[in-house]
Amino acid sequence: MSKILVTGGLGYIGSHVVVELQKNGFEVIIIDDLSNSSKQTLNGIYKITGIKPIFKKIDLKNKLLVEEFFKNHSDIDGVIHFAASKAVGESLIDPIKYYNNNLNSLINLLLELKKLKSPKLIFSSSCAVYGQAVNLPIKENFNSTNLRSPYAKTKKISEQIIKDLSKSNKSLNSIVLRYFNAIGAHKSGYIGENPIGKPQNLVPIITRTAIGVYDKLKIFGSDYSTPDGTAVRDYIHVVDLAKAHLKAIIHLIGKKNTKNYDVFNVGTGKGTSVLEIIELFEKISNKKLDFTFSERRDGDVESAYADSTKANKILGWRSEISLDDALISALKWERNNSV
């Protein structure tokens, strides 16, 4: 049984990855500082899998605590690294928080991975590293020189740090997953997206409006050069995304990689506008949403959706869950979570 460390494993995407790992026979250890997650998520993971993973509350910026952890867990076979601040808008307001948290946490982790015999790393990156791509769908080889936020820049810098270390340390095998807009929840309704404070992402705002937490939702921008004027994104079910991480770690553990650093897009390949998401949600929920238009939000791009051909071919992964099912699961989660 391989032992996998999942940092940020009680967060939205991380918790779904933990479920997929445990379902497939991996032993999981979670590190999370609970800054944007809840320890209650452990109960949701247990209800789904029947296994409660080992959990350590550690701030990865604390180098001494990270060193101590790895001294006690030197038998780790791989790391999936999610732990990071992730709100584009907040990063524009407080950039130092993002550079401090996202980069120092990664560096402290990599310093310990260097000490392992054959370290394997899956890094959680983002389509934000592309900025506004010139050609759509976006391929991995597109290199943007116009990143829109400190958040995006920390992801790009993180990728470069991992790439440089992988080049100098051939024993480190790493995969960077650049994913698009995760939505939905586990079909059980036991885990889902539950940010501390007001959510920044579209779907949880929609579901909270639907159940009456908010009176109306605000659409940022109605004058983009898109068919209906609203921003276009690649919305992928979080369980599909979690399965991509499973495929990636199996790829490295099975030594199927031909190079020790690689990058993959993870998306559906289909762009959907904000208004289209709202209309689809109204259809599947039989609820009419009250919304208003506002100015464009700083840091947002007009349109982004993935070319995931590389992940399809090399990792054997592809998205399978429909947008309808993603929205239904998100609403189910919101209703369960609001009780």
In this prediction, residue 339 carries a pLDDT of 56
Among the options 12, 151, 190, 305, which is catalytic? 151
> In which residue are the tokens 């100098």 written?
168
CATH number reported for the structural domain that contains residue 258 in this entry: 3.40.50.720
Q: Using alpha carbons only, what angle is made at residue 97 by residues 167 and 82, rounded to the nearest 5 degrees?
A: 50
> Which DSSP string corresponds to 234-268?
-EEEHHHHHHHHHHHHHHHHTT--SSSEEEEEES-
46 given a catalytic annotation: no
> Is 16 inside any structural domain?
yes
* Domain that includes residue 134, residue range: 3-183+236-268
- How many CA atoms does the CB half-sphere of 312 hold within 13 Å? 11
> Is 73 inside any structural domain?
yes
Nearest to 277 by CA among 223, 232, 222, 215: 232
In this prediction, residue 145 carries a pLDDT of 83
Alpha-carbon distance of 85 to 281, in angstroms, equals 28
> Is 288 inside any structural domain?
no
The pTM of the full predicted model, rounded to 2 decimals, is 0.97
> Is 166 inside any structural domain?
yes
Residues of the chain falling short of pLDDT 50: none
In this prediction, residue 337 carries a pLDDT of 86
> Is 205 inside any structural domain?
no
* DSSP 8-class letter at 315: I
**Number of domains, the chain:** 1
Alpha-carbon distance of 36 to 83, in angstroms, equals 10
> Is 224 inside any structural domain?
no
> Is 204 inside any structural domain?
no
In this prediction, residue 251 carries a pLDDT of 98
In this prediction, residue 196 carries a pLDDT of 82
In this prediction, residue 3 carries a pLDDT of 97
According to DSSP H, which parts of the chain are helical? Answer: 12-23, 41-49, 63-72, 88-93, 95-98, 104-113, 150-168, 202-210, 238-253, 274-285, 309-310, 323-338
> Is 208 inside any structural domain?
no
> In which residue are the tokens 């995931």 written?
308
